[in-house]
Amino acid sequence: MKKTVTIILIIVVVLTLCVPALAVDNGVATLDAVGTTASVTVSGTSANGVLAVMTEVLDTDGTTSLAMKSFAVSGGSFSGVITGVTLSAGATYTVRAADYNGGTWTATTFTVPLPLPPISVSAYTLTFVTNGGNSINTLNLSGGSVVELTKYVPTREGYTFSGWYSDEALTNSVTSVTITNNMTVYAGWSWIDLFADVAEDDWFYGDVVYAYENALMKGTSDTTFDPHGTITRGMIVEILYRLENKPAVTGACPFDDVASGKYYENAATWAAANKIVDGYGNGKFGPEDAINREQMAVILYRYEQYKGGGFKGAWMFPLNFPDADKISDWAYEAMCWCTMNDIIGGNDDGTLAPQGNAERCQAAAILHRFCDNIEK
């Protein structure tokens, strides 16, 4: 009996030595994978006793093998890179891993990321419209740039800079801009009361401001405008000449009382050539004479006709002013046009005063209204 037991034990030991060690089922506990178009990086953890794992990359169908590689297990984890593959961006692939000695596969999937779009640095411009101030160079900037506009302060004689605006109408004030396209900012200004004799509550204040800032009229000194002083015939033709951007003139001035070299010489020559003025007759223009209201109406009306405007045909209608009968025949049509277009109006007492000298403040108002009429 004892001998029989011994024989059985020997047989069991022999059988044990002849049978290989069984693989650990589910030898891979966790598995992660990320990939590019040319490689796959795997990592994971394994069960106790697993010394190495076999990994395999499968195609998008989940069955076709693309590459296999084994990795040693150290401290219960493994990692490595599988190369020699050609993968498609945006496609999803499968990676699986198992105990190198066999066992159940553990699988995961990954998607090859799409390439990032190229970063484009767009070049944009920021343009400064200084509205009469000194010029500021246009900036060339990349998209997303932030510009602090307070660093850019233009100057303008007779004005205080009031800030930048994003719109031409100067309604939206801005202190900084973020560049998203070609952009423009506009300077705002507050007029400094240059003239001690022009108060903000004077009826002609806005007209004087307009005439000054549009270079139609200047002060009689650095600090005075002399609003109730007179304006001369030479000054009026010079103003209209500037409105035309001082076109070139040819030939001599037809008026013998317009001296060579006078500031109004070219203006008088241009105005006569274009039938805007014809003088008093006998070669006289009277450039230093104060202009009266009906003379100013005629000169403005003829300038309007030169520009293609004015009445078409004969327009004569009664004017509702108590002194309308004082209007000269040669000035009546011009007065009709000027009053109809609100360029010349009555005085406080209701009179038109056609032969009354035009005061400088009245001239500023008439020119302001006339320029507004031209722009319509």
∠ CA 11-15-21, rounded to 5°: 155
Q: Is residue 82 within 8 Å of 39, Cβ to Cβ?
A: yes
pLDDT-based confidence at residue 16 (cuts at 50, 70, 90):
very low
For residue 369, give both structure tokens.
């209204």
Longest dimension (CA), the chain: 166
For the full predicted model, state whether its pTM sits above 0.85. Answer: no
Residue 15 has pLDDT above 50, yes or no: no
Q: Which of 95, 22, 33, 111 is nearest to 58 (CA)?
A: 95
Residue 71 has pLDDT above 80, yes or no: yes
Q: Select the more confidently predicted residue: 316 or 129.
A: 129
Three-state DSSP state, 242: helix
H-assigned helices in 123-225: 205-213
Which residues pair with residue 67 across a beta bridge? 57
Q: Is residue 263 within 8 Å of 253, Cβ to Cβ?
A: no
Residue 269 has pLDDT above 80, yes or no: yes
Which residues pair with residue 284 across a beta bridge? 281
Q: Determine the Cα–Cα distance for residues 75 and 194; give it in Å rounded to an integer.
A: 88
Q: Is residue 226 within 8 Å of 220, Cβ to Cβ?
A: yes
Q: What is the pLDDT of residues 162-172, one digit of tens each?
A: 999 999 999 99
Q: Helix, strand, coil % (nearest 5) of the chain? A: 25, 25, 50
Determine the distance from the C-alpha atom of residue 55 to the mean position of all C-alpha atoms in its chain, rounded to a whole number: 59
Q: Is residue 186 within 8 Å of 129, Cβ to Cβ?
A: yes
Q: Is residue 58 within 8 Å of 64, Cβ to Cβ?
A: yes
Q: Is residue 224 within 8 Å of 196, Cβ to Cβ?
A: yes
Three-state DSSP state, 13: helix
Give the pairing of strands 183-191 and 123-129: parallel
Give the chain's domains with CATH numbers. Answer: 28-111 (2.60.40.1930), 123-191 (2.60.40.4270), 205-375 (no CATH)
Sign of the torsion angle spanned by Cα atoms 60, 62, 63, 68:
positive
For residue 134, give both structure tokens.
């000194």
Which residues pair with residue 357 across a beta bridge? 292
For residue 93, give both structure tokens.
């692939």
Q: Is residue 316 within 8 Å of 332, Cβ to Cβ?
A: yes
Q: What is the pLDDT of residues 230-261, one digit of tens each?
A: 999 999 999 999 999 999 999 999 999 999 99
Residue 149: per-residue pLDDT: 97
For the chain, the first-to-last Cα distance in angstroms comes to: 133
Q: Determine the Cα–Cα distance for residues 156 and 171; give it in Å rounded to an integer.
A: 20
Mean pLDDT in residue range 121-143: 92
Residue 14: per-residue pLDDT: 36
Mean pLDDT in residue range 280-298: 95
Q: Determine the Cα–Cα distance for residues 242 and 332; give it in Å rounded to an integer.
A: 27
Residue 23 has pLDDT above 50, yes or no: no
Residue 49: per-residue pLDDT: 86
pLDDT-based confidence at residue 25 (cuts at 50, 70, 90):
low
Q: Tokens 């004479």 label which residue?
A: 289
Kindly report the average pLDDT of the chain as a whole number.
Answer: 89
Three-state DSSP state, 294: helix
Report the helix count and the strand count for the chain, using DSSP H and E.
7, 14
Q: Which of 37-41, 156-160, 284-288 has the lowest mean pLDDT?
A: 156-160
Q: What is the pLDDT of residues 347-366, one digit of tens each?
A: 889 999 999 999 999 999 99
